[in-house]
A and B are shown apart, each in its own frame.
Chain A
Amino acid sequence: EAQVTQNPRYLITVTGKKLTVTCSQNMNHEYMSWYRQDPGLGLRQIYYSMNVEVTDKGDVPEGYKVSRKEKRNFPLILESPSPNQTSLYFCASSLSAWVASNQPQHFGDGTRLSIL
Chain B
Amino acid sequence: DQQVKQNSPSLSVQEGRISILNCDYTNSMFDYFLWYKKYPAEGPTFLISISSIKDKNEDGRFTVFLNKSAKHLSLHIVPSQPGDSAVYFCAARVNNDMRFGAGTRLTVKP
Minimum CB–CB distance for B15 against chain A, Å: 27
Contact of B96 among A42, A44, A48, A92 (CB under 8 A): A48
- One of A11-19, A71-79, A105-113 at the interface: A105-113
A58 to B32, CA, bound (A): 18
User: With A and B bound together, what is the CA distance between A97 and B93 in angstroms?
Assistant: 10
Query: Which of the segments B36-44, B58-66, B67-75, B78-86 contacts the partner chain?
Result: B36-44
- Residue pair A110, B41 in contact (C-beta under 8 Å): yes
Q: For chain A, what secondary structure do more than half of its interface residues adopt (helix, strand, loop), or is it mixed?
A: strand
A43 & B100 in contact (Cβ 8 Å cutoff): yes
Interface set, chain A 19-35, CB cutoff 8 A to B: 31, 33, 35
Identify whether the interface residues of B are mostly helix, strand, loop, or mixed: strand
Size category, A interface: 20 to 34
B102 & A41 in contact (Cβ 8 Å cutoff): yes
Asked if residues A104 and B96 are in contact (CB atoms below 8 Å), the reply is no
Given A40-B102, A43-B89, A106-B46, output 6 extra A-B contacts at Cβ < 8 Å: A44-B100, A100-B98, A104-B34, A105-B98, A107-B44, A109-B41
Binding site for A on B (CB under 8 A): 2, 4, 6, 9, 31-32, 34, 36, 41-46, 49, 51, 89, 91, 93, 96-103
The chain A residues found within 8 Å of chain B, CB to CB, are: 4, 31, 33, 35, 40-45, 48, 50, 56, 58-59, 90, 92, 97, 100-101, 104-110
